[in-house]
Amino acid sequence: MKIRSLILASALAFATSAYAAKIPEALDPDKDGTIDLAEAKAAAGALFDKLDKDHEGTLDIKELQGRLSKVDFAGADPDKDKTLTRDEYLAVVEQRFKAANTDDDGTLDAKELNSKQGKALKKLLK
Ligand SMILES: [Ca+2]
Ligand SMILES: [Ca+2]
Ligand SMILES: [Ca+2]
């Protein structure tokens, strides 16, 4: 009995820590365990600046370092000038955020963030 509850306790501790580890702190500054759209956009904006090495205020597909496929890039670049402005980049972020937020509650929890759509979003955040 004792061993059983010990195993249960450690399994629970493991599950809890795994859960906590799933939302990176950098993406969740208010530490409520979920990412809202403002947090996603703030992280995406910071990444945008980091990737924009020539400081032109735009990202080309090379600067994105594989974060968007060619097809996704073309879809994200409606004016077809082969670069993404910050607005174009954040529009993709918002689109992916909404796709990942399957329960439509305005935030992404760890489970949503680790879904296929959530992972696609994460690529644009860090
Ligand atoms: Ca949060
Ligand atoms: Ca463009
Ligand atoms: Ca949600």
Identify residues whose C-beta is under 5 A from ligand 2, the ion: 77, 79, 81
Counting ligands in written order, which one lies closest to the CA of residue 108?
3
- Cβ atoms of 52 and 65 closer than 8 Å: no
pLDDT in tens, 24-38: 899 999 999 999 999
Q: If you compute the radius of gyration of the chain from its CA atoms, what whole number of angstroms results?
A: 18
Domain 23-122 has CATH 1.10.238: yes
User: CA-CA distance, 125 to 96, in Å (whole number)?
Assistant: 11
CA atoms of 118 and 8, how far apart (whole Å):
30
Where residue 123 falls among pLDDT bands split at 50, 70, 90? very high
Question: Distance, CA 67 to ligand 2 centroid (Å)?
Answer: 16
Please say if the pLDDT value at position 19 is more than 60: no
Nearest-angstrom CA–CA distance, 57 and 17: 38
